[in-house]
Amino acid sequence: MATLVPAHNTLPLTADMQRALATSPQPAPSDNARLADAQGGVPQAQSLSAWRIPRYGAPGILVPVTRPMPEPGPGEVLIKIEASGVTRADGMMRAGTPKFARLFLGLRRPRQDLIGTCLSGRIIAVGSNVTRFSVGDEVFGEAGLTFGANASHICLKQDGVLMHKPASLTHEQAAGLCDGALTSYNFLHNVAKLKAGERLLILGGSGSLGSAAVQIAKAMGAEVTATCSARNVDLVASLGADHVIDYNRHNALDKGAGYDVIYDTLGVASFAAAKRALQANGRYVCPVLSLALLGAMMRTRKYGARKARFSATGLLAPEVLRSMLSAVIDLCEAGKFSPLMDRSYPLEQLIEAQRYMETGHKRGNVVVVR
């Protein structure tokens, strides 16, 4: 079982926020229909609050904005967001790194200018032809490439990456499931094809992906070794790791270590370095794309028994992601998985939350809440 490390902050409004709020453009109220609140028919606000990325850069470039409240179209639902994730992937999107990603995100500035991908909340309105959800349902999911999840509200397609929230999880816990849990489920099940009894090394057991991977791999019946720093050794052991290695004191990639799978959650090693610690038919899987990893994947596709593999989880088809999330929910409900939580900030302090996320030292998930 995971150890939760809650740290619910009530941090003061920062100078950044006060400046940003003062210069934030305030659009005219929308003339779209008033929306009835699911709980009691109270009229909803006609605008939503969100955070905009005017250009690529550090967290301080983010600007709070209000936008007209969208009306759900056919097959869409309008969600009042209770909590949303502050993820490494969001930070890369905001910074426009690696630079080749700008080919997809927008060359000079993000084409989709709102930030945030993962969220949890409650449906407050549905469009026509919506069959999977009703007003009042508690849901979690991801906005995908349309972004805009670090906000008060969002409109999503019912056939996108949207699921009923397990009752056993809070919105804060559910908000991060599409980051660490979904990605690590994909990497362990589909990319590495990890089998029960295999020996797995997780590089980075205390992050969002790593803390989920330890629990998911144990549920799959693997023997798990994970690396972390001394301050996180007990935490990672409490998640279920059989062996924990302090990365500052020992090199986990000893020649002949004989792992079946190495899951480099942070991209801190390379296939060349990991190869010597893999079994003859071992797999090195890494969610952080680099030119070196790309080259190793191309080479090992044809040559050699040891393989290097990558997947962009968020780009998989929604129905594939939904079926993986169903399996993650089953793990939650069976008590085999619980997201590791670090800090929770108010939505108004997204800049602070992003700065903390970018230290590279968070433990598990960081979220912003309404």
Ligand X SMILES: NC(=O)c1ccc[n+]([C@@H]2O[C@H](COP(=O)([O-])OP(=O)(O)OC[C@H]3O[C@@H](n4cnc5c(N)ncnc54)[C@H](OP(=O)(O)O)[C@@H]3O)[C@@H](O)[C@H]2O)c1
Distance CA 257, CA 276 (A): 8
Residue 14 Ramachandran class (φ > 0 left, ψ -120 to 50 alpha, else beta): beta
In angstroms, give the least distance from the CB of 235 to ligand X: 9
Q: Does 288 bind ligand X (CB under 6 A)?
A: yes
Q: What is the DSSP letter of 262?
A: E
Contacts of 199 (CB under 8 A, 6+ apart): 222, 223, 225, 258, 259, 260, 261, 279
Part in contact with ligand X (CB under 6 A); list of ranges 11-19, 55-63, 145-153, 207-215: 207-215
Rounded-to-integer distance, Cα 362 and Cα 342, Å: 7
Number of C-beta neighbours around residue 288 at 10 A: 16
Query: Does residue 92 bind ligand X (CB under 6 A)?
Result: yes
Whichever of 70 and 91 has its CB closer to ligand X, that residue is 91
Which of 19, 195, 299, 361 is the binder for ligand X (CB under 6 A)? 361
Parallel/antiparallel/unpaired status of strands 118-126 and 138-142: antiparallel
152-181 positions binding ligand X, by CB under 6 A: 179-180
Binding of residue 225 to ligand X (CB under 6 A):
no
Under the binding rule (CB under 6 A), the answer on residue 231 touching ligand X is: yes
Indicate whether 190 belongs to the interface with ligand X (CB under 6 A). Answer: no
Q: Which of 48, 228, 253, 274 binds ligand X (CB under 6 A)?
A: 228
Per rule CB under 6 A, is residue 209 in the interface with ligand X? Answer: yes
* Contact call for residue 36 and ligand X (CB under 6 A): no
- Residue number with CB closer to ligand X (33 or 312): 312
266 sits near ligand X (criterion: CB under 6 A): yes
163 exposure class (CB count in 10 Å sphere: 0-12, 13-18, 19+): buried
User: Of 126 and 181, which has the nearer Cβ to ligand X?
Assistant: 181
Residue 313 interacts with ligand X (CB under 6 A): yes or no: yes
In Å, what is the CA distance from 292 to each residue of 127, 204, 224, 271? Answer: 46, 19, 26, 8
Cβ of 50: how many Cβ atoms within 10 Å? Answer: 25
Instruction: Give the SS3 label for residue 244.
Output: strand
User: Does 40 sit near ligand X (CB under 6 A)?
Assistant: no
The Cα–Cα gap between 295 and 301 comes to 10
Select 141 or 180, whichever has its Cβ closest to ligand X. 180
Tell me the C-alpha distance between 275 and 284, whole Å: 8
Q: How far is the CB of 288 from ligand X (least distance, A)?
A: 4
**β-bridge mates for residue 67, sequence order:** 48
Residue of 18, 32, 229, 323 interacting with ligand X (CB under 6 A)? 229
**Smaller CB distance to ligand X: residue 124 or 201?**
201
88 binds ligand X (CB under 6 A): yes
135 touches ligand X (CB under 6 A): no
Amino acid identity for residue 332 in this structure: C
- Residues near ligand X (CB under 6 A) are 87-89, 92, 179-180, 183, 203-204, 206-210, 227-229, 231-232, 247, 265-266, 268, 287-288, 311-314, 360-363
